Amino acid sequence: MRSEAKLIALEGIDGQALDAHAVSLYRWLRDLGVEVEKTREPTNGPVGTQIQLHRQQRLQFPPGSLALLLMADRLDHLTRRDGILSWLEDGRHVLCVHYLLSSYARLLDQVPFAWHRRINARCRAPDLTLYIDTGPGEHYRRVAEALSSEGQALCRIDAAADAETAYLQCQREIARLLSLGGA
């Protein structure tokens, strides 16, 4: 019997560190014979591309519009034919670099947090959020604390000094979630 597939979000301010962790964790899980997909937000889909252009300062959106675009990209990412929900239904775990926590943190002082949470209510919550804390990023810490206090499975990984220790802690948390035993 196949266990229920899990959505694992890798969150934090340092996108390059998150990408490196995601690649290593993906390879580790594949080497263990675990079916897994690796993805990220914003996506390369039509809405995600608009968000990427905004981040490159080639397009401008007011904060409320950007929050709606992030949510629209996430819903597309979840529901498209080869998207997160289809992977989960097929029994594949999903590692996603940037998900809910990042979009909340980036817009924390620009849109009301409660409204931002409400517009994302239709989006599947992650089974585990690994907040990889590399130092600066007070908004990320505040959102992580809020989500954790609401009962979301969230683990703060201190990566400010040692990336290898942070990676091993990510492995332990994922092994626990997926019941991988001695992995």
pLDDT in tens, 119-167: 999 999 999 999 999 888 899 999 999 999 999 999 999 887 788 999 9
2, part of any domain = no
Task: Write the pLDDT tens digit of every residue in 64-104.
Answer: 999 999 999 999 999 999 999 999 999 999 999 999 999 99
1, part of any domain = no
Which residues sit opposite 37 in a β-bridge?
94
At residue 181, does pLDDT exceed 50? yes
C-alpha dist (Å) from residue 18 to 23, 37, 76, 91, 99: 9, 15, 22, 24, 12
162, part of any domain = yes
182, part of any domain = no
pLDDT at 183: 58
Mean pLDDT of 25-48: 97
At residue 29, does pLDDT exceed 90? yes
Query: pTM, whole model, 2 decimals?
Result: 0.95
Print the domain residue range for 105.
7-177
pLDDT at 159: 84
Overall number of domains in the chain: 1
Structure token digits, residue 168: 């091993």
